[in-house]
């Protein structure tokens, strides 16, 4: 579609749409509207090209408007627009689950579909509680989350999540039985670390020494962490940290849930962070890149032993009283299969080390530029952190975002950290444009 055919911002009535996670007044005073997208670029309603430096919202891993994915959605809409998965099914959901199981960490061969990452998190937490109960350990109802981790926006997700702004208004409504690990950011000696920072593995020990001691393992169902806390500021796990969490969970019969909504689907150089980091979780939540963002889809992958515990439970009948109308929606599954085909054909789940190195060099070239206090990266995700303006945290980050947009590059501020998470089809020239534009903006930024 020619973007010039679409209504320009001035012809649109912006009032009625309540935009999510957005300063609505500010946006509507100066809207940024995109009309079309192809590969690495958006076209705005004014016809300007904007490089997508964040895979939109950490999800368009195959790039925009990829022919296989577009065609699969088109075809599926005409063939079977919708069929549910409650006691009747359709082949696509089974096919996609099989494909996901084929690239999942070993022994995680079962997949439950949701429509989003937030629903995936709710689903995983409910699975953990129900699993323990089925095994006669019904006292295990407590969760351990972590400061600065992001697990979506449903009540359960913000309860185990550690983003203060997302929790503040709901303080009295959050799940009661949750405790928190400290986040792993800001450990001495870790600033400007390339890849996983060297210090801080011992922060995992507080799970055992403090939280498990306090609550007793018999009361704890699961620990949930995002391997890289992306929306928490792109916090990279210290070397050895996740491994220690794994060991402690295993020792005490606690399930480890890794929230791979952002780290999955090739972001770190393999299909899942669990594989890159060599840690075996019991459950993995996913969303976003499973369809490269083209149709909403999320889900939970579980160890086979967890699935077996449910389906072999004595008594028969429905084994898990949970599911969404659109769990395994045909359009989403068709998009998912086509996305996995695209990833496989183009080797996107295992992008070359040379690209990761180039990305790392680009991120760390910011060291020494005005306001820069930290640079960090892992795989094809990274951040450049700026010192906040006095009395106005996040203002500097937001201004960089706006100025870069005007110059044709989209990067996302997370507070005063600028996040980089390009589609996995990015080439050197795209990284040059992305980093070059941000660097240029920084040199003139107050
Ligand atoms: N877990 C993680 C680790 C996520 O990053 C979710 C769960 C929830 O997914 P859904 O599909 O329900 O949004 C996410 C989502 C941001 C931003 O500003 C990040 C997300 C969503 C919206 C905004 O960085 N991540």
- How much is the pLDDT for 9? 62
Report residue 303 as tokens: 């160890």
CA of 262 to the centre of ligand 1 (A): 8
Q: Under a CB-based contact definition with an 8 Å cutoff, are residues 53 and 359 in contact?
A: no
Residue 198, pLDDT score:
98
What is the reported pTM?
0.97
Q: What is the pLDDT of residue 316?
A: 83
**Residue-range domain boundaries for the chain:** 3-61+351-443, 70-346
Q: Which atom of ligand 1 lies nearest, measured to the CA of 117?
A: 9
- pLDDT, residue 54, reads 98
**For 269-311, what is each residue's pLDDT tens digit?**
999 999 999 999 999 999 999 999 999 999 999 999 999 999 9
What's the CA gap between 414 and 397, in Å, rounded? 7
Distance between CA atoms of residues 417 and 195, nearest Å = 17
Q: 3-61+351-443: which CATH topology?
A: 3.90.1150
Closest residue CA from atom 17 of ligand 1? 231
- Using CA positions, which residue lies closest to atom 6 of ligand 1? 152
Measured from the Cβ of residue 349, the count of other Cβ atoms closer than 10 Å reads 21
SS3 35: strand
What letters, b where the CB count within 10 A reaches 16 and e where it falls short, cover 92-111? Answer: bbeebbebbeebbbeebbbb
Q: Quote the pLDDT of residue 2.
A: 47
What spacing in Å lies between the alpha carbon of 254 and ligand 1's midpoint?
25
Q: How far apart are CA 389 and CA 335, in angstroms?
A: 43
For residue 1, the model assigns a pLDDT of: 41
Give the position, in ligand 1's atom list, of the atom nearest the Cα of 154. 12
pLDDT at 7: 52
122 lines ligand 1 (CB under 6 A): no
User: In 3D, which of 285, 257, 292 has the Cα closest to residue 57?
Assistant: 292
Ligand 1 lined by 261 (C-beta under 6 Å): yes
Report the topology of domain 70-346: 3.40.640
Low-confidence residues of the chain: pLDDT under 50: 1-6
pLDDT digits (tens, 9 = 90+) for 74-115: 999 999 999 999 999 999 999 999 999 999 999 999 999 999
Residue 8: predicted pLDDT: 59
């Amino acid at each position: 579609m020619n973007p010039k055919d679409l209504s320009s911002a001035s012809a649109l009535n912006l009032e009625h749409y309540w935009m999510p996670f957005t300063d609505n007044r500010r946006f509507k005073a100066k809207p940024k509207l995109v009309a079309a997208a192809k590969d690495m670029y958006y076209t705005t309603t004014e016809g300007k090209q904007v490089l997508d430096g964040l895979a939109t919202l950490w999800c368009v891993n195959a790039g925009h408007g990829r022919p296989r994915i577009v065609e699969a959605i088109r075809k599926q809409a005409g063939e079977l627009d919708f069929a549910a998965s409650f006691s009747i099914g359709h082949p696509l959901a089974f096919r996609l689950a099989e494909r996901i199981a084929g690239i999942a960490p070993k022994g995680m061969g079962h997949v439950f579909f949701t429509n989003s990452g937030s629903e995936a998190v709710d689903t995983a937490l409910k699975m953990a509680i129900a699993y323990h109960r089925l095994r006669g350990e019904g006292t295990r109802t407590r969760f351990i989350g972590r400061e600065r981790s992001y697990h979506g926006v449903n009540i359960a997700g913000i309860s185990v999540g550690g983003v203060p702004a997302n929790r503040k208004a709901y303080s009295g409504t959050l799940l009661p039985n949750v405790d928190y690990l400290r986040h792993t950011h800001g450990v001495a000696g870790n600033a400007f670390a390339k890849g996983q920072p060297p210090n801080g593995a011992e922060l995992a020990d507080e799970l055992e020494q403090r939280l498990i001691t306090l609550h007793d393992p018999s009361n704890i169902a699961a620990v949930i962490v995002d391997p890289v806390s992306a929306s928490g500021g792109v916090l990279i796990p210290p070397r050895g940290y996740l491994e220690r969490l794994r060991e402690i969970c295993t020792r005490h019969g606690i399930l480890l849930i890794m929230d791979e909504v952002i780290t999955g689907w090739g972001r770190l150089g393999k299909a899942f962070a669990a594989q890159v980091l060599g840690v075996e979780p019991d459950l993995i939540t996913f969303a976003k890149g499973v369809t490269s963002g083209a149709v909403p889809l999320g889900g939970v992958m579980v160890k086979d032993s967890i699935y077996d515990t449910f389906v072999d439970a004595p008594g028969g009948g429905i084994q898990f009283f949970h599911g969404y109308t659109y769990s395994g929606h045909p359009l989403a599954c068709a998009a998912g299969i086509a996305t996995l085909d695209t990833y496989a054909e183009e080797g996107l789940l295992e992008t070359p080390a040379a690209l990761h190195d180039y990305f790392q060099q680009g991120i760390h070239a910011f060291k020494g530029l005005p306001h820069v206090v930290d640079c960090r990266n892992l795989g094809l995700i990274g951040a450049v952190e700026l010192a906040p303006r006095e009395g106005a945290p996040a203002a500097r980050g937001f201004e960089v975002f706006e100025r870069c947009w005007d110059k044709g590059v989209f990067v996302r501020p997370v507070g005063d950290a600028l996040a980089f998470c390009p589609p996995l089809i990015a080439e050197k020239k795209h990284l040059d444009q992305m980093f070059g534009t941000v660097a240029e903006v920084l040199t003139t930024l107050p």
